[in-house]
Amino acid sequence: MDDRSLETLGLADAPRDHPLLYPGAWPADSGLLDGDSLLPLDRLVHDDRAPVLAVGSNACPGQLRRKMDAFGIVSPLPMVKARVTGIEVGVSAHVSRLGYVSASPFHAPGHLRELFVIWLDDEQLAVIDASEGVPRPDGNYGRAWLPASDVRIELADGTTLPGAFSYVNRHGVLHDGTEAPRTHPGQRPLITELLLGSARLRQLFGVTPEEFCARARADAGLCERGTLLFAAEKLVTTSGLEAYLPAGPA
């Protein structure tokens, strides 16, 4: 029998432990995350679970495993590759306490890319909510329902979902210099470019991606100052998805 362990598949490392790897390795295809293995999936739609569109490390099996392990959750978790139209992966306008600048979706009409839908039972959804700061009033993300009228999610068997949840950053996203949202290029190139572009950011976080990650992980207050600096230096724009954010707890 083929070895389907996360280690063998190159999917075991979690950005929580290795922030410069963010968003982490994604699977080549759909699968069932079961313990430390990614097994073949027998069906794509799981009507008894909540569909969540993953745009960052929630599509990394190693990261998902770490999140579930922290709460003793061992139930299998379906991960389904999908063709998604209307969404692109942007850069969250906050510095994470885990040492990286994470991803957040932004509205991109007509844009097509492959993302993962993770199907979560109630316990799993509560864990992912907590990891994204939902429903804390000071949380960085809100869980928003993105309807099919704006975001088309098509599975490999031709099924089109009526919509899915996704985590939208309440601070907005970083722009590309033209007020349009910038795409997330991966952690090392992103932090390198951000540090080169801001002397004040270098004063806070150092001059290399390694320094940035180490300082952010060591000081939650510094992360808050970095988040405020993004706004102060006018690096932030809207994602176009704010209307879908719940006013209160998701």
Residue pLDDT, tens place only, 67-118: 999 999 999 999 999 999 999 999 999 999 999 999 999 999 999 999 999 9
Residue pLDDT, tens place only, 137-154: 778 999 999 999 999 999
Block residue for tokens 């990286």? 100
Displacement of CA 216 from its chain's centroid (Å): 18
- Taking only Cα atoms into account, the Rg of the chain, rounded to an integer number of angstroms, comes to 18
> Is residue 44, in this structure, part of any structural domain at all?
yes
Q: Is residue 130 scored above 50 in pLDDT?
A: yes
Residue pLDDT, tens place only, 64-74: 999 999 999 99
> Is residue 240, in this structure, part of any structural domain at all?
yes
Q: Is residue 232 scored above 80 in pLDDT?
A: yes
Q: Could you tell me the pLDDT band of residue 1, with boundaries at 50, 70 and 90?
A: very low
Q: Is residue 247 scored above 90 in pLDDT?
A: no
Residue 206's CB is within 10 A of a number of other CB atoms, namely 17
SS3 67: helix
| Bond from prior residue into 246 cis (ω within 30 degrees of 0) | no
The total domain count for the chain is: 1
> Is residue 31, in this structure, part of any structural domain at all?
yes
The CATH number covering residue 97 comes to 3.10.490.10
**CB within 8 A of 173, min separation 6: which ones?**
90, 91, 92, 93, 104, 106, 181, 182, 236, 237, 238, 239
Which strand (E) or helix (H) includes residue 236? strand 236-237
Range of the domain at 23: 6-184+235-244
Half-sphere CA count of 222, side-chain side, radius 13 A: 20
Predicted local confidence at residue 213, as pLDDT: 97
> Is residue 210, in this structure, part of any structural domain at all?
no
Per-residue burial over 50-85, b if 16 or more Cβ lie within 10 Å, else e, is: bbbbbbbbbbbbbbbbbbbeeeebeeebbbbbbebb
**What mean pLDDT do residues 30-41 have?**
97
Q: How many helices (H) and strands (E) does the chain have?
A: 7, 10
Predicted local confidence at residue 139, as pLDDT: 87
> Is residue 72, in this structure, part of any structural domain at all?
yes
Which residues are 108's β-sheet partners? 86
Measured distance CA(11)–CA(111) in Å, rounded: 27
Half-sphere CA count of 234, side-chain side, radius 13 A: 3
Higher-pLDDT residue of 138, 166 = 166
Predicted local confidence at residue 248, as pLDDT: 54
| Bond from prior residue into 185 cis (ω within 30 degrees of 0) | no
Predicted local confidence at residue 250, as pLDDT: 46
Residue pLDDT, tens place only, 182-229: 999 999 999 999 999 999 999 999 999 999 999 999 999 999 999 999
> Is residue 179, in this structure, part of any structural domain at all?
yes
Please report, rounded to a whole number, the percentage of residues in the chain having pLDDT higher than 90: 95
> Is residue 25, in this structure, part of any structural domain at all?
yes
Q: Note the helical H segments in the chain.
A: 6-9, 61-70, 122-131, 187-197, 199-205, 209-218, 220-232
Q: Could you tell me the pLDDT band of residue 249, with boundaries at 50, 70 and 90?
A: very low
Q: Nearest-CA neighbor of 66 among 121, 19, 30?
A: 19
Q: Could you tell me the pLDDT band of residue 172, with boundaries at 50, 70 and 90?
A: very high
Q: Could you tell me the pLDDT band of residue 58, with boundaries at 50, 70 and 90?
A: very high
**Pairing status of strand 103-120 against strand 152-155:** unpaired
> Is residue 115, in this structure, part of any structural domain at all?
yes
